[in-house]
């Protein structure tokens, strides 16, 4: 009886998520979708992409997703401030986080110096950290998996396992 119920629940969930038949809904999918719905983003459009998607040229990806241009394609990167890792007592979740998720366009290059300057400016001038307090690097895969709850190439800013600041590139907002 339990197996029958589990199969029915799985079938209903697959229908709700509009999964291809070979995909099984997992915890990460549920977490992302629940977070988006909790935020009231009911117009969100979920797209399933084939396995080789991340090997495709950006133009092909944009076409599959129905994006107006490749400028609409974004990626999140989990970054770690290695200077905070060395001195955990200096961490402040808002103005000097150890980890942060940065969302930027695929075609953009991350300017870590500019990002560090923006983070520094969150404090009043008298309390501002010195540039030497920042060494921003892409987080290790194990930290990425633990903090985001998502595997490589499937990270989203929605439904993270641990709270980290999310920084949206200023170039993305006008595309809205």
Return the residue matching tokens 């609409």: 72
CA distances from 121 to 2, 30, 109, 126, 170 (A): 56, 36, 21, 11, 15
Q: What is the pLDDT of residue 35?
A: 95
pTM: 0.87
Distance from C-alpha of 126 to C-alpha of 44, rounded to nearest angstrom? 42
Task: Collect the ranges in the chain with pLDDT lower than 70.
Answer: 176
Residue-level pLDDT at 68: 92
């Amino acid at each position: 009886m339990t197996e029958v119920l589990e199969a029915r629940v799985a079938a209903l969930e697959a229908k709700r998520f509009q999964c291809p038949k070979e995909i099984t809904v997992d915890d990460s999918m549920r977490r992302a979708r629940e977070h988006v719905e909790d935020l009231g983003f009911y117009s969100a459009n979920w797209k399933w992409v084939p396995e080789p998607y991340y090997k495709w040229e950006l133009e092909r990806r944009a076409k599959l997703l129905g994006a107006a241009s490749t400028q609409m394609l974004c990626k999140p990167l989990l970054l770690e401030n290695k200077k905070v890792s060395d001195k955990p007592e200096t961490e402040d979740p808002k103005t000097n986080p150890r980890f942060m998720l940065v969302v930027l366009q695929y075609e953009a290059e991350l300017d870590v110096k500019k990002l560090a300057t923006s983070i520094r400016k969150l404090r009043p001038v008298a309390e501002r950290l010195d540039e030497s307090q920042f060494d921003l690097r892409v987080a290790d895969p194990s930290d990425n998996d633990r903090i985001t709850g998502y595997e490589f190439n499937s990270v989203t800013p929605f439904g993270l396992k641990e709270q980290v600041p999310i920084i949206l590139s200023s170039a993305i907002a006008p595309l809205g």
